[in-house]
Chain A
């Protein structure tokens, strides 16, 4: 019996680092990514690492923005592996807040990618796992979803939507033996954040975050702050009274 995992947004740095850890355990994987070339690069890397187990790895090219395809996509992944033990949803964009302030359609597009499309995938997977009465659904949200700040509240709002949706889903699926994990990374040094200047002590590597995710999935954690110190930082940030918070330049 092999562990079977689906990674959505599999070419993202965090998802790829997580896939490497699963491959070390001999797992079977389906990778879903938008860019065919990057997907192929990721698949090759994992196949080399899997060695003789390379045949357990599959890739499906798909644009996750297209929510009308989600049902068929989840079906396909489910059938390729004959069931799924875990799913990691990791696709996303980092919008430029100033550009979004100036262009409403851009703002809505990012909201769709980081919020709506994630909810759609979760809903389809939840149906499947509920019927199977088992499985772990892990979704990358963000500490940015814990409180809106002027510098990135659009991203924060999308992630906040995801976090709150997962709370409800966890509540709904608990009696059915399905585990829902909300992952809240802080700053992670990935290609997505490459444009951000000098990286200080708060920045974590994708490998570190991946190790935390795998452990949290093993242990049925509900909400993972990674690295762990973000739980305390966000506790403080959440408790600043709004009257004070609105004056801060964060």
Chain B
């Protein structure tokens, strides 16, 4: 808390001028003292780039808006303030036989943040994205007006606010529908694959059989990797408790620990680690492997890192993904985390939602200035050619033209933007 708020990618950005905590959902938004100053909600800051930053302007912290409002254990309908975390929800509902219908790869995000980015999980082909399970929300605008929105009530405002990147106003509370589980642990299936073509074959086989599916890819060796699929285990599977207190990445090293040699070594070890083809996994390990070490983002050193996540439509996904992996391998810009997922064939609930039919690839790059930006630029060209799009939650650099090409509804969306709201991301992609 000593420094001004940073994004998860920790790239140096100018700080917000004001940081205001919100504590009471019934009060109106603070009025910026200077007319040019804009507002932006900030949850737990798990977005990698600048969608949750407002350099030189005002950030409204929602962490203290963390009260539950109602939960019906018979129907699994939960209503809570926007600053309640997915972690707090899981702790409440798992013992009562419920689970989140959709969860991102970390449980340390807020409800408001999950809605504003319309986040996806490993089960998009079955459950869609987070917004598909939002039954209602309240939107508070800077003029003091409040409206309850849902798929049937002010549906246009609902479509703008789900995936709306925090730009339509403040979400004060969210009501979601949970899903029943016999227990939260997961029956997981692991398979190694030697090439990206084998990946597609595995995916075609397992996706229809399992609710969850994801693959880790070794970018440095042309696309070998590990495919993991899973299902919530049955009632009789052995119950396990979440692990004890997590470890913290101790400090920020002066240099990034992520370089070609370490990534090469890590990837070799990761690919060759003992891999049970079939296993019962505790839910935290299956859904949130990265949450096991707090602040792992520090290992990238003081310059931080960039995540590059794109989605490629079905017609082009095979060729384009092969080309992306080839480019990354040939430039030697290692990436620990290369993750492949296939989205289901469905229309997302939000105007600016990222999930859409096709395949999504996510890569982390230590930030090395120009060289990294140049590589991203080359990747952009491939994604653009393939008619794909980049994920704003992970972005810190895409040009405005790329955003507009990937999000054709952006112009219609603009009319719903609250005049007093903006973000670093939004100002960047306007140009």
Query: CB within 8 Å of B: which residues of A?
Result: 13, 37-38, 41-42, 44-45, 48-49, 51, 189, 191, 194, 198-201, 203
CA distance A189 to B70 in the complex (A): 26
A7–chain B nearest beta-carbon distance, Å? 15
- Taking a contact as CB atoms under 8 Å apart, the answer to whether A41 and B25 are in contact is yes
Contact with A along B84-98 (1 / 0, CB 8 A): 000000001000100
Given contact pairs A44-B69, A48-B71, a sample of 15 additional A-B residue pairs in the complex whose CB atoms are under 8 Å apart: A37-B24, A37-B26, A41-B25, A41-B67, A45-B68, A45-B69, A48-B92, A49-B92, A51-B96, A191-B21, A198-B4, A199-B2, A200-B1, A200-B2, A203-B1
A13: chain B residues at CB < 8 Å are 64
Which has the most chain A C-beta neighbours within 10 Å: B20, B68, B80?
A: B68
Q: Is the CB of A45 within 8 A of B21?
A: no
Check if A198 sits within 8 Å of B21, measured CB to CB: no
Does more than half of chain B's interface fall in helix, strand or loop, or is it mixed? loop
Residues of B near A51 (CB, < 8 A) are 71, 73, 96
Establish whether residues B67 and A45, one from each chain, have CB atoms under 8 Å apart when the complex forms.
Answer: yes
**B401 interface residue (CB < 8 Å to A):** no
CB pair B1 A42 closer than 8 Å: no
* B64: chain A residues within 8 A (beta carbon): 13, 191
Residue of chain B at shortest CB distance from A24 = B91
Q: Which residue of B lies closest to A201 (CB)?
A: B2
Nearest A residue to B66 via CB reads: A45
A49, A194, A203: the one within 8 Å of B68 (CB)? A49
Dominant secondary structure at the A interface:
helix
Considering the complex of A and B, which 10 residue pairs feature the smallest CB-CB distances, nearest first?
A48-B68, A45-B67, A191-B23, A199-B1, A48-B71, A45-B68, A194-B21, A200-B2, A44-B69, A41-B67
B25: A residues at CB distance < 8 A: 41
Q: How far is the CA of A48 from the CA of B89 in the complex (A)?
A: 11
Contact code string B1-41 (vs A, CB < 8 Å = 1, else 0)? 11110000000000000001101111000000000000000
Please indicate the chain B residues that have their CB under 8 angstroms from the CB of A38 in the complex. 24
Give per-residue flags for B40-79: 1 if the beta carbon is below 8 A from chain A beta carbons, else 0.
0000000000000000000000001001111101000000
User: Which of A42, A194, A200, A201 has a CB less than 8 Å from the CB of B67?
Assistant: A42
Residues of B within 8 A of A189 (CB): 1
For this complex, 18 residue pairs linking A to B, each with C-beta atoms less than 8 Å apart, are A13-B64, A41-B24, A41-B25, A41-B26, A41-B69, A44-B69, A45-B69, A48-B68, A48-B69, A51-B73, A51-B96, A189-B1, A191-B23, A194-B21, A194-B23, A198-B4, A199-B2, A200-B1
